[in-house]
Structure 1
Amino acid sequence: MELRPYQQEARESIQAEWVNGKKRTLLVLPTGCGKTIVFSKVIEDRVRLGERLLVLAHRGELLDQAADKLEKSTGLKCATEKAEQTSIGSWWRVVVGSIQTMMRPKRLEQFAPDHFDTIIIDEAHHCISESYQRVLQYFESANVLGVTATPDRGDMRNLGAYFESLAYEYTLPKAIKAGYLSPIKAMTIPLQLDLSTVGQQGGDFKTSDLGTALDPYLDSIAAEMWKIAQNRKIVVFLPLVKTSQKFVNILNSFGFRAAEVNGDSQDRAEVLEDFDNDKYNVLCNSMLLTEGWDCPSVDCVVVLRPTKVRSLYSQMVGRGTRLFPGKTDLLLLDFLWHTERHELCHPAHLIAENEEIAQAMTTQINQAGIPLDLETVEKQAADDVVAQREEALAKQLAEMKRRKRALVDPLQFEMSIQAEDLASYVPAFGWEMSPPSDKQLQTLEKMGILPDQIDNAGKAAKLLDRLDKRREEGLTTPKQIRFLEQRGFDHVGTWSFDSAKNLIDRIAANGWRVPDGVNPKEYRGD
């Protein structure tokens, strides 16, 4: 099987992390981008080295999917550790294991602590839990690869407590731009759903309270869905089985062909197949279909299980991001959830670089009244946020006018080179959160950056890498940026080194005054 370019890059990056001594590393791929294929190829590489591998997951569907994809993509078969099934005595080098089974001491102790050379964790955002940690600590000498679709920096910080590095990340916007996933259009339904009385549990909303809070709105929601999405193929996520069952009856009364599945459904496989074959056009579920289920023809997702957990939200939306013949986009329906805090996940959080941009996007989507393309909204919101930051920066620089500086403030540098990734950087791994080293601070100062406000090693490393890259690409230095922006020129960070040098030479030859005919506000380099 020939891998897509990003899949091959991911495969090579993972191997490189292990070679460089980073034993616990992460792969982040959006739902639908072939994470199982990637780790199957990684498994194939390690088997060629003579290793034994364990694939861990928390649901049977994920284990079956991993075993199936592994055999189809590499020809490798595997043994299973799940309930009464055991790999003991098997000669297969790959084992797929249920975490619920593997965590039991009697099961674990059947293996030597060094039995597995490499462990793959599917849906790695679960791995911080006690059950996973028990298994991982038992096989502590093994290399570990965690695979997740989470787009959230908060989740990444949590995972950073265990993993040492991020081997590779492929973002949702990149996948959509490259044509590997469906474009997403988001629309806010103008219904005020009050969640202010809903309790909190385990860092998220309490599902029992959510079901009660939703009940009064179900008829109105169904009516809006009929107006907007009656011709779409829809998956609806709800907090409780009884709420899901109630909503199915309401949807059918409006004219939808709706069905429901839950963990106790005896006919679950049949219902899913019928939905796949268009016997139904709406499928309701109580969080059953967040992982390990694919139906690429789904072109509308309705999230009636509001959440603060980005990984969970991403999984729900991911049920509709795959490509399918005749499918032009995924319609994601959001609501005017009323909460006392601003922690709720919205469509914007799927692609926004930071919370500031996400809030600007959400406001824009809420006010539109029509479906909006997420990428288009993100670009506009990012531009607006940058403009606001530039305005704030201008005020800040005006206040600092009297203070002479030989160095460039990091924020000024980031805004000048239009580096949103630097401006919104949040450290994720342990080493990144530590204070910058003396060497980093000295090097930054030597290269023209004021290091006083750089408070972590990760930001220092990112800035130094960017400065090295800019030098290689022949772009302006911090000192050139400072000199020219002090004289009113904008975005000097986007100019070439030679353009800035030529202009500075002209200014010097003109008695250190801007030459006549040069308008700093309009000048953009040669």
Structure 2
Amino acid sequence: MTDIIKNELQSAILNGYVDRNQNYAAAEFSPQLLNNSEQETVWERIRFELNSCSSFTFAVAFITDDILTPLKAVLVDLNSHGVQGKILTSNYLYFNHPKVFAELLKIPNVNVRIVRQPGFHAKGYLFQHAKQNYQSVIIGSSNLTRAALLRNYEWNIRFTSYAEGAITKQINTEISRTWTEAEPLTSKWLNEYEHLFSEKRVEIVEGTDRLNERKALYSTDSVIAPNKMQQHALQKLQELRQTGEQRGLVISATGTGKTYLGAFDVSQFKPHRFLFIVHREQILEKSRSSFHKVLGGPASDYGILSGHHTDKKAKYLFATIQTLSKLERLKQFDPDEFDYILIDEAHRTGSESYRRVLAYFKPEFCLGMTATPERTDDFNVYQLFDYNIAYEIRLQDALNERMLAPFHYVGLQDYEYQGKLIDDKAPLRHLASEPRIDYVLQQLEYYGCSGDKVHGLLFCSRQKEAYELAKLMTQKGHPAIALTDETIKVREETIKMLENGEIEYIVTVNIFNEGIDIPCLNQIVMLRNTQSSIVFIQQLGRGLRKFPHKDYVTILDFIGNYKNNYLIPMALTGDRSRSKDSARAEVSMQPTIGISTINFTEIARQQIYASIQATKLDSLMEMRKDYQELKRKIGRIPLLIDFEKYGSIDPMVFANSNLFPNYYHFLLKMKEDIKLVPYQDQTLYFLTKELLNGMRSHELLLLQELEKNSMITEAKFANLLHTEGCYADNAVLKSVDTILSLEFFHVKAGKKFKSARYGGEPLVYHEEGRYYLNQRLLKMLDTNTSFKCLFNDVIKTGLTQAKRFDHSTPFTLYQKYTRKDVCRLLNWKKDVSAPMYGYRVGRNDCPIFITYTKDTSGKRKGENYENEFLSTSIIHWFTRSPRHLYSDEVQRLLQTDKEGKPVVKIHLFVKKSDAEGKDFFYLGESEIIRSSASEKMILGKNGRKKAIVALDLRLKVPVQQRYYTMLTAGDDKINS
């Protein structure tokens, strides 16, 4: 263990146990209280520890199989790196189901033993870091269960001990003794336990964690009442009608109870007659039953109109569109026959049959319900319902509210053929080969499913592949049937066979994307390229309906060398921002959604990273799709603020695009009829490129005020900044002047000054204690409504973006900045970002920019020139060359005042690789560990040795675990 790490550990212990104000605390060494918070779950901390340890030991009394799926995904990667682990558990109270032990036996790099000692109730997680000679320990209330690691209110203490520490010796001695006395988990032991379990379990009340969880997931109450989200939706529907609207749309994820929500709204509307329209006869009976449960009354009030039933006089009529849309049927009803009409799967209403029905009837209110309003054709669902989105329940919201069965998604690599991953062009003989199916079945067996028997749905690429896969799976002992274009009757018979356990899998291409309800599904297998986010969610959603004794759904996604892999993280998290930063973050952080987990194995992550890098998420074609979708949704030309409001494209994608200088030019490409003169265009260009990011709201607030009043005094502006919580001193106010006068940009860029791109003329004049808006600009705002709209839109959107930042300080932790942004926010007079490169030592501040890996392939910089995290608090950094300890800039960095404080503040900015663009994460202020300063020699490009200075920088605030993982993922140096 290096002296620096040892010193950090000692300081952290003093900070945690003696005086928090006197000693600096390194995050990974400081004692911490762990619980399940919005910032971090206990599971996320354990996963982080696993990914950085050399070996581990879990000592836990209780284990449930609902946490083993994400654990297995982590252990797969650890096994490839030679990391082994031990698990000590027990048969205490017969809480652990035999299946848990059977699943543990599948994990090759974990050795499991059963503690014989009665009353074993330990809950501890230990992680060895052999390279740095210390041990991390988590001890507290959390068993190895999904509830304990993801949801429950738990108290756990995490602490770190040096190898020679007394506590380390005690823990290791106790583990060694208990391990020696414990009994190895074997198939023989498991067989014996199964017999005992079936006898003893009936005598013991089911474990509290599982019992409470099941009660929450599957209510058996006879009274059906709206849940929290449905209550909110009902309120919004009532408010919509009170404004006089006659049509509304509810967007609700599959499995979230759309039918019951409709019944609840009909109950509060109290119609004289009600019509429910669906596209499939199979749905009618179930829908009628659901409405009867909510509305009550005699069964005769509920009728069906279909090819087999003609109960047209019923008070509550449930009809198929195929029957109802026939002219002879329609004419049997008066146009105002029904005062409330509900259309299920409303995204289908673009067809002629639906249009005919909706044109004929004149109800007081018409409600459309759909999970997927987005359309690939030109039909506008939103327009049909008068752009009235009464309520929207997306998948992620429904999972957080526990309206659906939770899932464990695992993205794992697909089969390799002759050293190459399956790709889009793979021939059928490779897709349906025996080696590939052996590999797939091996993974299905390893990750398993909830319950004792598989009820699986497998999606593949081609119809022939479906039949071949089903044939091979059946031959290998996993009965499967392929369904592609079979009749409804054959499909229903096959589904019954799956539900009854006669087969394990239905193999299909895409016929089960929507409209099929198989609640027993406990395993979804995606053995195909992801073509769209919509289809991905539709297929994943097939397994999310709640079902008795189904605690979770296993989603196994076999990721090959597919160009569309970038869609996966976006679909899972509902991210539609088209931001590469967001997509990469979702893959590296592997977030949880409620008690659902997202997991990617190492090679799968690499495939997705490569796809994100190779794909233009912000291509004009893709942005046009999103623009048109939003325009259909709101019924007018969208503004930047609309993209922000509706969770669509991140407005910064427009700002950073090389395809157009500002949103006005994008609108021109969308064929919108808007005309601006060059100066208006240049002004929008400036606002978009420099201020839309909201990093400093001072300029935006001033422009917003001046647009209203044309003049504002210094005192009023100062008061405005104070009211908005913005820091302001003379340096900041001078900086605002240089930005809005364009003086900051008056530096050579080629043959012209940069400021010329923005019109060259100040937007704001600051004279005699007053701020004035440029008169030319003021006149144009008064005379051109389109320009005024776009001008205010950028300012309003920028101020919305500004909410992400802390404006009481120049920089906000973990936000991203370019070198130019840093020059501006440090109040420098000019944009000197071009020659800055790795750092610039200013009078009071020194920003340091570190690219952690050299290129997108992950190759590190030269062996002797590596910037490297030693911990979440310390990074090993090198100056540029040639530099010596006596060099002026090095001496300025090391200089301290009379109190020993550094004269120059060091601000650290880090990005993982050049593939991530020009932006760097801000990790905060740091100080040089003066004892670390040393001079080294490296080989220059010309082969000659040059001097550099190596320094260790200690961050004032240790890097949060999730950002540390994001920046260092794939770095072999962090594995101890």
TM-score (norm. length: structure 1) = 0.65
Residue 297 of structure 2 is aligned to residue 63 of structure 1: no
Residue 370 of structure 2 is aligned to residue 116 of structure 1: no
Aligned to 1:432: none
Residue 223 of structure 2 is aligned to residue 21 of structure 1: no
Is contact 1:321-1:330 (8 Å) kept? no
Aligned to 1:51: 272
Residue 592 of structure 2 is aligned to residue 368 of structure 1: no
Number of equivalent positions: 438
Give the AA of the match of 2:234: R
Give the AA of the match of 1:244: A
Is contact 2:688-2:794 (8 Å) kept? no
Q: What is the CA deviation profile of residues 337-383 of structure 1, one whole-angstrom value per residue up to 9, with x for unaligned ones?
A: 646xx5996463242233335854797687734699x9xxx9xxxxx
SS of the aligned residue for 2:475 comes to helix
How big is the shift at 1:188?
A: 4.2
Aligned to 2:409: 185
Give the AA of the match of 1:106: E
Q: What is the CA deviation profile of residues 204-227 of structure 1, one whole-angstrom value per residue up to 9, with x for unaligned ones?
A: xxxxxxxxx656512355333212
How big is the shift at 1:318?
A: 1.1
Aligned to 2:306: 82
Aligned to 2:545: 322
Is contact 2:430-2:436 (8 Å) kept? no
Point out the more displaced range, 28-37 or 355-364: 355-364
1:195–1:178 Cα change, 3 Å:
same
SS of the aligned residue for 1:87 comes to coil
How big is the shift at 1:309?
A: 5.4
Greater relative contact order (CA < 8 Å, ≥ 6 in sequence):
1
Q: What is the CA deviation profile of residues 228-279 of structure 1, one whole-angstrom value per residue up to 9, with x for unaligned ones?
A: 1133432023567665333211111233232345643756545433422433
Pick aligned residue for 1:126 from 348, 372, 378: 348
Is contact 2:480-2:507 (8 Å) kept? yes
Give distance in 2, aligned partners of 1:184 and 1:165.
35
For the pair shown, which has the larger CA radius of gyration, 1 or 2? 2
Give the AA of the match of 1:161: Q
Pick aligned residue for 2:317 from 90, 95, 118: 95
SS of the aligned residue for 2:384 comes to coil
Q: What is the CA deviation profile of residues 143-187 of structure 1, one whole-angstrom value per residue up to 9, with x for unaligned ones?
A: 221111128597999422322221111222222223333134141
Give the AA of the match of 2:537: S
Correspondences of 1:162-181 after superposition (within 5 Å): 162-163=384-385, 164-181=387-404
Structure 1: which 5+ residue stretches go unaligned?
198-212, 379-384, 397-402, 419-440, 494-513
Is contact 2:437-2:472 (8 Å) kept? yes
SS of the aligned residue for 1:302 comes to strand
Give the AA of the match of 2:330: L
Residue 294 of structure 2 is aligned to residue 73 of structure 1: yes
How big is the shift at 1:44?
A: 2.0
Is contact 1:117-1:142 (8 Å) kept? yes
Give distance in 1, aligned partners of 2:786 and 2:553.
42
Q: What is the CA deviation profile of residues 22-56 of structure 1, one whole-angstrom value per residue up to 9, with x for unaligned ones?
A: 3222111211211111011112223x2x3322111
Give the AA of the match of 2:525: V
Residue 143 of structure 2 is aligned to residue 143 of structure 1: no
Aligned to 1:33: 256
CA RMSD of aligned residues (A): 5.4
1:99–1:5 Cα change, 3 Å:
same
1:141–1:411 Cα change, 3 Å:
farther
Give the AA of the match of 1:143: F
Aligned to 1:160: 382
Q: What is the CA deviation profile of residues 486-515 of structure 1, one whole-angstrom value per residue up to 9, with x for unaligned ones?
A: xx344899xxxxxxxxxxxxxxxxxxxx9x
Pick aligned residue for 2:522 from 299, 303, 307: 299
SS of the aligned residue for 1:88 comes to coil
Residue 245 of structure 2 is aligned to residue 42 of structure 1: no
Aligned to 1:249: 471
Give the AA of the match of 2:273: R
Pick aligned residue for 2:442 from 227, 231, 242: 227
Pick aligned residue for 2:481 from 241, 259, 274: 259
How big is the shift at 1:413?
A: 5.8
Give the AA of the match of 1:13: K
Give the AA of the match of 1:80: I
Give the AA of the match of 1:318: G
Give the AA of the match of 1:15: Q
SS of the aligned residue for 1:355 comes to coil
Aligned to 1:272: 495
Give the AA of the match of 1:70: F
Give distance in 1, aligned partners of 2:803 and 2:464.
62
Point out the more displaced range, 239-248 or 271-280: 239-248
SS of the aligned residue for 1:11 comes to helix
Correspondences of 1:396-415 after superposition (within 5 Å): 412=691, 415=694
Larger strand percent? 2
Point out the more displaced range, 297-306 or 56-65: 297-306
Correspondences of 1:485-524 after superposition (within 5 Å): 488-490=810-812
Give distance in 1, aligned partners of 2:243 and 2:350.
24
SS of the aligned residue for 2:275 comes to strand
Give distance in 2, aligned partners of 1:292 and 1:138.
26
1:444–1:288 Cα change, 3 Å:
farther
Give the AA of the match of 2:397: K
Give distance in 2, aligned partners of 1:492 and 1:276.
48
TM-score (norm. length: structure 2) = 0.38
Aligned to 1:217: 431
Residue 532 of structure 2 is aligned to residue 336 of structure 1: no
SS of the aligned residue for 2:432 comes to helix
1:457–1:178 Cα change, 3 Å:
farther
Give distance in 2, aligned partners of 1:250 and 1:456.
65
Give distance in 2, aligned partners of 1:301 and 1:328.
11
How big is the shift at 1:98?
A: 0.8
1:40–1:300 Cα change, 3 Å:
same
SS of the aligned residue for 2:543 comes to coil
Q: What is the CA deviation profile of residues 261-306 of structure 1, one whole-angstrom value per residue up to 9, with x for unaligned ones?
A: 5643756545433422433321224544344443334232224575
Give distance in 1, aligned partners of 2:318 and 2:235.
23
Identity among equivalent positions (%) equals: 21
Give distance in 1, aligned partners of 2:501 and 2:790.
50
Give distance in 1, aligned partners of 2:795 and 2:328.
50
Give distance in 1, aligned partners of 2:238 and 2:550.
38
Is contact 1:454-1:460 (8 Å) kept? no
Give the AA of the match of 1:222: I
Q: What is the CA deviation profile of residues 299-341 of structure 1, one whole-angstrom value per residue up to 9, with x for unaligned ones?
A: 32224575745544433221112345353443141433646xx
Structure 2: which 5+ residue stretches go unaligned?
1-223, 416-420, 589-598, 613-648, 662-681, 698-705, 712-719, 722-762, 764-780, 816-843, 845-902, 908-921, 926-955, 957-976
1:492–1:414 Cα change, 3 Å:
farther
Correspondences of 1:435-450 after superposition (within 5 Å): none
